[in-house]
Chain A
Amino acid sequence: MSWLKHKLEICRAVAFVTYNEWSAYRSHSLVSVFVGPVYFIVQYFIWTAVYGDSSSFGGMELEQTVRYFGVSALIGYLTMDFADWNLQMLVRTGKFLTFALRPVHHRFFALSQKLGHRVLGFIFEFLPCFLIFLFVFRIDIIPVHIGWTVLSVALAFLMNFYVNYCIGMTAFYFVQARGIRTVYQLVSSVFSGVLVPLSFFPGSVQWVMMFLPFQYTNYITAMVWSGSESIGELGLTIPQAVMFQGVATVVAALFSELVYRASIKRFTAVGA
């Protein structure tokens, strides 16, 4: 019990410091208050034109699709992550040494940092955009099942972190791993459902996506938030979808630990 208490104290301290550090750049976060609604407006007109007179497309009605893009943007503010960039930078410059010597696992430290950073995101990105979507654009953006939504967002938060951390660990193997990050971000933007809901893809693609991490960082959470009764090709209910997400997150966490144990042996602390 005292172990857990100690961990929570470390987490709170690191998150608090990160929050204060990034608060100096809060105007950067406020950029989202402009960017988010502008992207949303573009999406609104694209899909309004595409739907035309038809009531349904890819199994979703226009109202659902519009809400999906609003929700998707909000999830992005809650789960945004740059653990990959940070870890790659630390390894490349050799600064990771200072973390390797500390009595705290770097992954836990990075997760705590992310918590602090996203609290800031919650205040300066999520809340303003949520209010704009709700009161200016009048989208029905309130989660249908708040409990399941909170759980799903938390899992997406963790999933995004663990996967990005794994991508970051490629820096232990390559001097410059920027290309790998770029490729991952590219593939992730498509298959996480940020650009298009995955239900618009062929069934076989959706089926394969069940076994990859991408959709658990955005699509599943967006569908849970929207209260969809049948998610993906398998027609999952909300509890089933969140269960799948939970299992995938545990697998990602275990995988990241395995990769970490293999990678740390290669760390030379020299930098490049």
Chain B
Amino acid sequence: MRYIKIYLTCVRIAFSQAAAYRTDFILGNVITLLSNILFPLVTVVIYANGAEFPGWTMWEVLLIQSVFSMSNGLSAMLTNGVLWVTFDHIREGSFEIVLLKPLPPLFYLMAINFSTGSLGHFAGGLVLTIVSALNSGADACGIPAFLLLFAAGTAVMCGLDLIMAAISFKWVGNSRIPEIFDSISEFGKYPLGIFPKPLRILAAFVIPVAVVGFFPASALLGRSESYMLLAVIPCAVFLAFGIWLYNRMIKRYEGVGG
């Protein structure tokens, strides 16, 4: 209960800070919204030229991508700040400031780095998801499975952020670490069937990025298969691994910067 109160206070402060720099906040979110519009451009161009992903309509593919975007926006609000602040603290050799706080370091960093700037990302994904769902004949019966898989997908994205942050304890000052994981998450933005079987298994159960966009969208479209719900387990494991790794790497913090 105490932690929830602290977290909510930090969220309130984050919004107050955003209100102090209103123009920057609004501009930042508008830009993010615009980037959301451009994000599915490849899909639109493909379908505008009369081609298609076999067995998928344009709105169905856009639904996958907008759910991915929504999940990405939500995880960015919750954990993406941890990555960059950890990265800076390690490079500066100032992580002791976090360790001295009377709270678990990971929780403290998550709370004070709630990102209001990612609201536009989430909102853009939400709007696009609703529009795509309405145009692709989504099935309301699939909403419970969708919500479960969406939560699992967001857990994967949060897990990725924490793993990246944990890596920065050893790979000091490498701002390109996120690119590695961004490239892997590309597999979650398209119908899984276009990839060969080994990559499908990898994206569904090992680094479960398919659960971020493809599985929830399939549930909403009534196209889910029984094995998809099983993928919730590796997602939980993935998040737990991220938390464990981050906490373990804190013990290896050397405090010398880099």
Contacts and interface: CB of A to CB of B under 8 A. Distances in A.
A binds B: yes
Interface of A: 25, 27-28, 31, 34-35, 38-39, 41-42, 45-46, 48-52, 54, 57-58, 176, 179, 182-183, 186, 189-190, 195-196, 200-201
B42 A195 contact: yes
B53 A35 contact: no
Nearest to A59: B49
Contacts of A58: 49
A57 B175 CA distance: 37
Given A49-B194, A51-B51, A176-B24, A34 B183 contact: yes
B96 interface: no
A176 B28 CA distance: 12
Interface of B: 24, 27-28, 31, 34-35, 38, 41-42, 45-46, 49, 51-54, 171, 173-177, 179-180, 182-184, 186-187, 190-191, 194-196, 199
B173 A179 contact: no
Given A31-B179, A195-B42, 18 more contacts: A25-B174, A31-B176, A31-B177, A45-B199, A46-B42, A49-B53, A49-B191, A49-B194, A50-B51, A52-B51, A57-B49, A58-B49, A179-B27, A179-B28, A186-B38, A189-B38, A190-B38, A196-B41
SS class of chain A's interface: helix, strand, loop or mixed?
helix
A46 to B, nearest CB: 6
A106 B126 CA distance: 45
A93 B183 CA distance: 33
SS class of chain B's interface: helix, strand, loop or mixed?
helix
A42 B186 contact: yes
Contacts of A48: 194
A24 to B, nearest CB: 10
Contacts of B184: 38
Contacts of B53: 46, 49-50
A179 B45 contact: no
Given A57-B49, A186-B35, A28 B54 contact: no
A193 B52 CA distance: 20
Contacts of A52: 51, 54
A31 B51 contact: no
Interface centre among A39, A42, A45 (most CB of B within 10 A): A42
Contact of A200 (B45, B171, B187): B45
Contacts of A41: 199
A172 B190 CA distance: 42
B27 to A, nearest CB: 5
Contacts of B176: 28, 31, 35
Contacts of B35: 182, 186
A48 B24 CA distance: 42
Contacts of B195: 45
A58 B176 CA distance: 33
B51 A25 contact: no
Nearest to B179: A35
Given A39-B183, A200-B49, A49 B54 contact: yes
Contacts of B42: 46, 195-196
